[in-house]
Structures are given as structure tokens and as C-alpha cells.
């Protein structure tokens, strides 16, 4: 496609070159009405209009998606960096065409229609002659205009120097061979350097960069973007490197070349992840204005970035609190029968582990003798049994090779590594905190305990309700029946100005999704975000239509939920993290696409086909709700789904912790509604919003 476009550009001539920018002559040449005035803008507008007219499509036209034409600029930059091919004349023409047609449809005529393209290119060249400064670009400035593409090409060039062979297919770089060799080199270097030493270096580096937040007890591993993108560089793939590091949980003998080896590991891993995947965005605008043609790739990139560049994290203390509250329903006898010790004993040993690790960041050696001193009332055999229960019994992540191989990561299933009979390793308190829940849930599921998921769901609701109650936040929940149709609200929070509807979902983002498998990503989002939003959407419509709903709780008590023209916020709440998908800008893209397009699958698996058929049923319901809301609120079409949220439990608990009543909760909750920096990280966005709020109050 690129070669055909370049040939057209090379063989198409401008039409105004001979007029030497004489406005009067150009007006006459372009048949512009000169009865009122002569302006440069009128000439530019006319040329833009002629480009749009030339590239206008009709139902009978063979077309190509606009996104394919936009990608030609990427290929031109790739070829400039990799093969020193001059991109400038072609990039300039493309930029004029893209800018003139940016609001008109999603497709262009096929390149087979040479007359149309020749006319458009000729007008674009006229524009560049008349207004050369608007799209001025040089080989030295091309990086600032195409920062992501340029940096990906630089990374690919490094991979090529390491033996990788590449091809460019449909304007995308395809690495045909050699990645195994690069991965092998990284793995060998980490082994020689020592995985433990690498982990210590990485966590220390993050602390020095002030990337660790004592307030949230987590590392701020977020997207580094701005609205100009000129200063961004490829990020370090902390997730991939740390998951590789745990394969070799030891420190190698120090040598004078250690710093160079560390630098080489980081440089090559950056090139591997950036060049082979290219999922890092440099400009915050990339998280907006997605099209149905781009949404699947967009979601895949979100999932892969989280897996490659970030790590799961949690507050250590909160992880244990949640475990206690979620498993209180399991009696001591049943718990001990399943685990071999009591819940209180497990929590006491876990607390001791975090106390030992509390003084620093990164890997900490946990000795049985130290733990035993802190839990003197627990039998020593029980203490050792618990430590072993919390530990991997064999080497971890041994099948991990490519950065996208998240299905081959098993480190997150258990919080400790067993180094000896009484010696254990906690890689990092924040990184390992979520595993304290994972190990318990896995054990109970494996025991085939009856109705486990149902009991966990109920326990989760009660946990949230208790947290609200502890902070003086009144809430309601219950079922309702309106016009013969049944509905349910998991949690409703009210203030004078707002109604917040929270629907809880146990669906998790699976390891297949985290590996970038688009089918699984779509189904996981449908089973969490879409399900919850459809549920709360039904409640919103009834409130707007009827003005009130009678909520009946499990005790038969009735609460009259009244609309009163208040703002309605709809929250899909998951227990575990969905990463960048729980950003408002991202879910808005996904929910918008569902109003116009269906998701299909090429799979022949009957189970997957059935799930996609069910997804289409949900999508039809979603579309019905959208159409209904448009009739109920004329402003809804301008900002649809602006009241839709997607959060996880720890994120919600952060808001609750700072609240003192319903009003403060609603104000804090809405803090980030009108702020978006492109980090796709709740904690960073929430922290920024709090700082802005504090500054405003000051």
C-alpha cells in the first residue's frame, strides 16, 4: 500500500506552483469568489474542501479504513530509521490529507481509484506550496512529531543488531525470527547478575525516583505521557524484569562489571518490549477517540502494558484485613480442616512477615526463627507449616520467555519463595501483598467447599458495607419490582446532589487476557464492566422515569430511593485489579463502541461462541438503554457514559478511608471525574486530584 501511495505522490504535480503565491491568480485558478476580500484562509479552506470532495466515499465505492492510511506515516518513519529512506515529501502530503478529512467518516476510497487520489494529492501539494509552514517537518524534527513510532523503530534497530529479522506488513513491523535469542541473552545476563540483585536494584531505583508512595504503600508504575509527547522515552519494563528476576532468587558474586551488566539487561529488555510490542503510548490523546476498527488492538495494548511494565500491588495491612473479613464465615473447624491451622494463626504469621519487611522496599529474607519470636503463642510446627503453605515449593516462572507470556507466570499465586528448610524470601511487601489473598482462595476452591463463590460474594458485600458504616456513611441495598420487572441494587450511596449506584462483580481479568488475547479481554470486560453497567443502567432509567424506587433489603425493610433530579453515578466494582481498564477514559471508549458495533469471534469452540452470543444479547440491552437515556436527557448524547465508573475494591476503600459522611464521600469520589492525565492509574489520578483540591482550598 505504501509503495502505491509513494508512486502517486511522485507522479502527481501541484497546480499553483507557477503563480508564485499570487493570491489574485490563485483565487482565479481555484474559482474562489473574490467579490468581498482576498484571504489566505479562503485558499486553504478551498483546498481542504477539494481534498474532502475527492476522497468522499459512496455506498458503491470500494474503500479502505482511514486508520490504514494513517499507518502509512508510521511505516514511512520506520523505513527512515531502519533503512534511511526519505519520508519527508510523503509524510507532508499525508498530514494535509489527514487533517483535511479528520472529521469525515472512517474510510477513504480504495487506492484503485487513482483519479480521486491523484486529485487529493495534487490539492495537498498545492496546500504545501501555499502554506509551507503549517506542516513543516524535517528529518531532524521527525522524532518530535512521531515520537512513539520513532522510538519503536530505534528499539527494532537494536533488536536487528542482535540478530532479529524483521518485515513490514500492512505498515506494522513483524519480527520474523531472533526474539528467542534476545530473550535467552536477557535471561542469561540476569542469571549471572543474580535475580535477587536485579530486583533490589530495580526497587531501589524506583524509590530514588520517588516512584514509591508511602501514602498508598505502592509503586507508581504508571504510563508516562503528556499532551505533547516530545520528552517521553521508552519506559523500563519493570513487570517483565521482576518476573524474570524471581527465576533466579540469589545474588551473584560481585564483579567490577556489575553496573555494565545491569545497564545491558535494562537496555536490551527495553528494546525487546518496546520493539516487539510497542504498547507504550507517549501522548495522552492516544487514550481518546478510538474507533471500532482500532478498539480491539487498543484493548490488547492496555492489557499488555500492564503485564509488561507494571506489577500487581496492594497494601500489606489491607490484604490481611480483607482476608479476615472475607473468610470469617468459614468456621474454625472447617478452616482448620482445609488448611491445617486456624485463620487467626495464619493472619498472625502473615502479620509477622510484614512487620519484618516493614523497614524497607524490595526483597527481604524471612527466617523462621524471627517469625517464631513474634508469634510465641503459636506452636512452632504450626508456624513452619504456615510459612511453607505461603511458599512456592519449586522454582517459579520457569516457562516465562517472551514478555507477553503471562499465562506462564505463577509467581503471583504465593507470596513467598522457599530458599531453605527455615529460610524464605518475600520479594517485596507491596508486590506480594495480593498473593496472601490468592493463596487462600486457591486452597478453598481446590477443597471443593460448597457455594464458595456465592459466600465470597456475600462476604465482599458485607465488607464494603461495614467500611461504609465505620465511616458514618449511610447506604442502602435491596431488590425492587417495577412494572413487573425485577431489579437489584448492591449498594446505593446518597447525598444532596448525587446518587452513587455500586454493583459488585467477582469476575477477574484472567491470565489469558493479561497475555493480550483479545477474545478473553472482551469476555472479561463483558462479564464485569458491561454486566454491572447494564444492571445500574436499568436502575437509572427507572429513577428518571418514575422518580423513585422502593428498595427492599433482606430483612424486608423498605427504603424509598428518590431521584430528585440528582446526578447519578454508576460504578462497576470488582474485587481484584483490572489495571488500565479501570480508567474512565478507557471504559468510555469501550462502552461507546458497543453502541454501534458487535464483537464476533472466529473460534469454533462452542463455549466461546455461546459466550459471544450472550455478549451480543447484553450489547442489545446496552443499546436499548442508551437510546432510552437519550430520550430522557438531551445532554446525554454529548457526554454519554460520563457517569460510568470501573473500580476495584482497594480503590474504593481508599475513598472510604478519607470520608466522614455521605457528602464527603461523594465529593471525594467525584474528585477525579473531570481530571485525566493519561497515567491510567487510579492512585496517581486520585493523588493529583487531592493535591489540586487542597491547593484550591488554600
Helix pair angle (2-11, 114-130), 10° resolution: 60
Q: Where are the beta strands (DSSP E) in 527-612?
A: 548-552, 558-562, 567-574
- Cβ(15)–Cβ(126) below 8 Å: yes
- Cβ(170)–Cβ(271) below 8 Å: no
Length of the chain: 698
Say how far apart CA 98 and CA 19 lie, in whole Å. 26
Measuring CA to CA, how many Å separate 416 from each of 53, 394, 514? 65, 11, 22
Neighbour tally for 484: CB within 10 Å: 5
> For residue 350, with 0-12 CB atoms within 10 Å meaning exposed, 13-18 middle and 19 or more buried, which class applies?
buried
- In the 8-state DSSP scheme, what is residue 307? H
Say how far apart CA 491 and CA 428 lie, in whole Å. 34
Neighbour tally for 494: CB within 10 Å: 20
Residue with cell 464492566: 529
- In the 8-state DSSP scheme, what is residue 103? T
Say how far apart CA 300 and CA 290 lie, in whole Å. 13
Contacts of 638 (CB under 8 A, 6+ apart): none
Supply the pLDDT for residue 413.
94
Largest Cα–Cα distance in the chain?
A: 99
Measuring CA to CA, how many Å separate 268 from each of 121, 152, 156, 402, 584? 41, 13, 11, 13, 33
Supply the pLDDT for residue 698.
47
Helix (H) or strand (E) holding 10: helix 2-11
Helix pair angle (147-161, 258-276), 10° resolution: 120
**What are the cell numbers at 282?**
507517549
Bridge partners of residue 248, in order along the sequence = none
Supply the pLDDT for residue 695.
62
**What are the cell numbers at 191?**
542469571
Pairing, β 644-648 against β 567-574: parallel
Residue with cell 493479561: 514
CA neighbor of 559 nearest in space, from 567, 568, 550: 550
**What are the cell numbers at 30?**
481555484
CA neighbor of 50 nearest in space, from 15, 7, 88: 15
- Cβ(650)–Cβ(314) below 8 Å: yes
- Cβ(550)–Cβ(556) below 8 Å: no
> Residues of the chain whose pLDDT is less than 50?
698
Cα angle 221-224-228, degrees, rounded to a multiple of 5: 170
- Cβ(660)–Cβ(471) below 8 Å: yes
Per DSSP, the residues of 211-274 read -EETTTTEE------BSS-SS--PPP-HHHHHHHHTTS-S-PPP-TTHHHHHHHHHHHHHHHHH
CA neighbor of 429 nearest in space, from 516, 313, 339: 313
Give the CB-side neighbour count of residue 487, counting CA atoms within 13 A: 26
- In the 8-state DSSP scheme, what is residue 554? T
Helix pair angle (531-546, 606-632), 10° resolution: 30
Supply the pLDDT for residue 67.
83
Q: What is the dihedral of CA 84, 86, 92, 97, to 10 degrees?
A: -80
Amino acid at each position: 500500500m505504501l509503495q502505491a501511495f509513494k508512486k502517486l505522490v511522485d507522479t502527481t504535480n501541484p497546480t499553483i506552483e507557477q503563480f508564485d503565491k499570487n493570491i489574485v491568480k490563485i483565487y482565479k485558478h481555484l474559482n474562489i469568489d473574490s467579490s468581498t476580500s482576498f484571504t489566505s484562509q479562503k485558499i486553504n479552506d478551498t483546498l481542504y474542501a477539494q481534498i474532502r470532495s475527492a476522497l468522499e466515499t459512496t455506498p458503491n465505492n470500494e474503500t479502505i479504513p482511514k486508520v490504514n492510511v494513517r499507518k502509512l506515516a508510521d511505516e514511512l518513519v520506520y523505513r527512515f530509521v531502519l533503512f534511511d529512506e526519505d519520508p519527508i515529501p510523503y509524510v507532508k502530503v499525508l498530514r494535509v490529507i489527514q487533517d483535511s478529512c479528520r472529521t469525515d467518516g472512517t474510510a477513504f476510497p480504495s487506492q484503485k481509484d487513482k483519479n480521486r487520489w491523484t486529485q487529493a494529492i495534487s490539492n495537498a501539494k498545492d496546500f504545501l506550496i501555499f502554506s509551507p509552514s503549517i506542516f513543516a517537518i524535517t528529518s531532524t524534527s521527525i522524532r518530535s512529531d512521531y515520537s512513539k513510532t520513532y522510538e519503536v523503530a530505534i528499539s527494532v534497530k537494536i533488536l536487528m543488531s542482535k540478530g532479529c529479522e524483521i518485515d513490514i506488513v500492512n505498515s506494522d513491523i513483524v519480527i520474523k525470527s531472533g526474539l528467542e535469542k534476545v530473550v535467552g541473552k536477557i535471561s542469561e545476563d540476569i542469571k549471572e547478575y543474580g535475580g535477587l540483585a536485579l530486583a533490589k536494584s530495580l526497587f531501589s531505583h524506583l524509590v530514588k525516583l520517588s516512584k514509591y508512595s508511602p501514602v498508598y504503600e505502592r509503586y507508581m508504575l504508571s504510563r508516562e505521557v503528556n499532551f505533547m509527547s516530545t520528552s517521553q522515552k521508552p519506559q523500563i519494563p519493570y513487570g517483565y524484569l521482576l518476573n524474570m528476576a524471581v527465576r533466579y532468587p540469589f545474588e551473584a558474586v560481585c564483579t567490577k562489571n556489575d553496573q555494565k551488566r545491569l545497564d545491558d539487561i535494562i537496555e536490551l529488555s527495553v528494546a525487546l518490549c518496546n520493539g516487539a510490542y510497542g504498547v507504550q503510548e507517549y501522548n495522552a490523546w492516544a487514550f481518546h477517540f478510538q474507533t471500532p476498527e482500532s478498539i480491539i488492538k487498543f484493548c490488547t495494548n492496555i492489557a499488555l502494558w500492564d503485564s509488561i511494565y507494571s506489577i500487581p500491588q496492594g497494601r500489606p495491612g489491607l490484604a490481611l484485613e480483607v482476608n479476615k473479613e472475607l473468610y470469617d464465615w468459614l468456621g474454625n473447624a472447617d478452616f482448620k480442616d482445609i488448611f491445617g491451622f486456624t485463620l487467626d494463626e495464619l493472619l498472625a504469621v502473615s502479620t509477622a512477615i510484614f512487620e519484618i519487611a516493614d523497614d524497607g522496599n524490595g526483597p527481604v529474607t524471612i527466617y523462621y526463627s524471627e517469625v517464631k519470636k513474634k508469634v510465641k503463642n503459636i506452636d512452632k510446627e504450626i508456624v513452619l507449616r504456615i510459612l511453607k503453605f505461603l511458599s512456592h515449593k519449586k522454582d517459579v516462572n520457569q516457562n516465562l520467555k517472551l514478555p507477553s507470556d503471562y499465562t506462564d507466570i505463577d509467581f503471583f499465586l504465593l507470596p513467598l519463595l522457599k530458599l531453605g528448610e527455615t529460610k524464605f524470601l518475600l520479594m517485596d511487601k507491596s508486590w506480594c501483598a495480593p498473593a496472601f489473598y490468592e493463596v487462600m482462595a486457591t486452597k478453598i476452591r481446590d477443597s471443593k467447599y460448597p457455594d464458595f463463590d456465592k459466600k465470597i460474594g456475600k462476604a465482599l458485600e458485607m465488607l464494603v458495607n461495614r467500611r461504609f458504616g465505620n465511616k458514618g456513611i449511610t447506604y442502602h441495598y435491596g431488590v425492587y419490582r417495577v412494572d413487573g420487572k425485577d431489579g437489584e441494587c448492591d449498594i446505593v450511596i446518597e447525598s444532596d446532589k448525587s446518587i452513587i449506584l455500586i454493583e459488585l462483580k467477582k469476575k477477574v481479568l484472567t491470565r489469558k487476557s493479561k497475555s493480550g488475547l483479545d477474545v478473553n479481554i472482551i469476555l472479561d470486560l463483558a462479564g464485569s464492566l458491561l454486566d454491572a453497567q447494564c444492571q445500574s443502567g436499568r436502575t437509572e432509567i427507572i429513577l428518571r422515569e418514575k422518580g423513585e424506587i422502593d428498595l427492599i433489603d433482606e430483612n424486608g425493610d423498605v427504603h424509598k430511593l428518590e431521584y430528585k433530579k440528582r446526578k447519578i453515578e454508576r460504578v462497576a466494582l470488582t474485587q481484584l485489579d483490572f489495571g488500565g481498564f479501570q480508567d474512565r477514559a478507557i471504559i468510555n471508549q469501550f462502552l461507546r463502541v458497543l453502541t454501534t458495533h458487535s464483537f464476533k469471534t472466529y473460534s469454533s469452540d462452542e463455549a466461546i461462541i455461546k459466550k459471544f452470543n450472550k455478549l451480543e444479547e447484553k450489547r442489545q440491552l446496552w443499546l436499548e438503554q442508551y437510546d432510552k437515556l437519550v430520550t430522557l436527557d438531551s445532554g446525554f448524547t454529548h457526554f454519554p457514559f460520563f457517569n460510568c465508573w470501573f473500580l476495584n475494591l482497594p480503590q474504593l476503600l481508599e475513598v472510604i478511608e478519607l470520608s466522614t459522611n455521605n457528602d464527603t464521600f461523594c465529593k471525594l469520589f467525584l474528585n477525579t471525574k473531570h481530571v485525566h492525565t493519561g497515567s491510567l492509574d487510579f492512585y496517581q489520578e486520585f493523588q493529583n486530584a487531592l493535591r489540586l483540591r487542597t491547593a484550591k482550598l488554600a
